[in-house]
Amino acid sequence: MKKNTEFTIKRFLIDVITDVVVVFLLVQVIRLYIFAPFRVHGPSMCNTFNIYNDECYNGDGEYILVSKFSVISLFGWRPGEINRGDILVFQAPGLTEGEYYIKRVIGEPGDKIKIANGFVYLMDAQGDYQKLDEDYLNEDNLGKTYTYRTIEQEYEVPDDKYFLLGDNRNKSSDSRRCFNQLGCNTESSPYLDFDYIQGEVKIVVFPLTHIRWISNPDYSI
């Protein structure tokens, strides 16, 4: 009887340990290849994220899930793609490990962008600049997109890089400032390398009253 009891306990412990290991591995696979959780800090994407009581929140705010399908590669094939208007989580050059930014894609590789008169323009196939309809900007930011130390500036996005802006243009260290609060210098770039991208924001999961899917504008040209 004692031997049977010891065998049962050992078998139970082995099953528990096996289950814990399997769950841990599944969680790691999900985080690496499917979805990863992040927390939005600060007001740089307000009003899209971190709005509490109709005000932009400066601290740690909403929890989000980021899809990895746009950045993983399966034998050279990606199940998703990054498009203009998508919101990305990424590690900007110069940030320490574990620190991330969240911004919106304005320009894909090969795009030509102009910022002038407080608005953003994208060059179409005919070579004409078209003003983007950025209805996600709040009243404090609509028509108030300005460049760093210049009145007007044009950008041409290189291969495998992206041009990103925060929705709260007045309080965002984005491509205009080379992702640096101090602004651009001779060693920095306004364009984000693909390899820095963690994934695309798909859903807000917490607080429960803020749960929602994230829909992005179509900026196809």
65 with 12, same domain: the answer is: no
**Residue 75 forms part of a structural domain:** yes
Look-up: residue for tokens 């044009």?
Answer: 154
pLDDT tens-place string over residues 30-68: 445 578 999 999 999 999 999 999 999 999 999 999 999
71 with 100, same domain: the answer is: yes
pLDDT tens-place string over residues 183-201: 898 889 999 999 999 999 9
pLDDT of residue 5: 67
191 with 98, same domain: the answer is: yes
Helix (H, G, I), strand (E, B) or coil at 146: coil
DSSP assignment letter at 116: E
1 with 108, same domain: the answer is: no
Per-residue pLDDT band at 133 (split at 50, 70, 90): very high
107 with 51, same domain: the answer is: yes
11 with 60, same domain: the answer is: no
Helix (H, G, I), strand (E, B) or coil at 67: strand
For residues 15 and 117, which has the higher predicted lDDT (pLDDT)?
Answer: 117
- Check whether 23 has a pLDDT greater than 60: no
**Per-chain mean pLDDT for the chain:** 87
- Check whether 69 has a pLDDT greater than 80: yes
**Residue 220 forms part of a structural domain:** no
Beta bridge partners of 214: none
pLDDT tens-place string over residues 210-221: 999 999 898 877
102 with 162, same domain: the answer is: yes
Residue 191 CA to residue 93 CA, distance in Å, equals 10
Per-residue pLDDT band at 13 (split at 50, 70, 90): low
101 with 205, same domain: the answer is: yes
For residues 3 and 171, which has the higher predicted lDDT (pLDDT)?
Answer: 171
pLDDT of residue 134: 96
State the sign of the Cα–Cα–Cα–Cα dihedral 100, 101, 105, 106.
negative
- CATH code, domain with 165: 2.10.109.10
45 with 107, same domain: the answer is: yes
Of 166, 169, 168, 156, which is closest to residue 129 (Cα–Cα)?
156
Tokens standing for residue 10 = 């050992």
**Residue 125 forms part of a structural domain:** no
Of 217, 59, 47, 215, which is closest to residue 139 (Cα–Cα)?
47
168 with 90, same domain: the answer is: yes
Of all residues in the chain, the percent with pLDDT exceeding 90 is: 66
**Residue 171 forms part of a structural domain:** yes
**Residue 118 forms part of a structural domain:** no
Q: Report if pTM > 0.75.
A: yes
Stretch 80-99: mean pLDDT, rounded?
88
102 with 13, same domain: the answer is: no
Residue 186 CA to residue 221 CA, distance in Å, equals 32
**Residue 29 forms part of a structural domain:** yes
92 with 167, same domain: the answer is: yes
Overall number of domains in the chain: 2
Domain that holds residue 25: 1-33
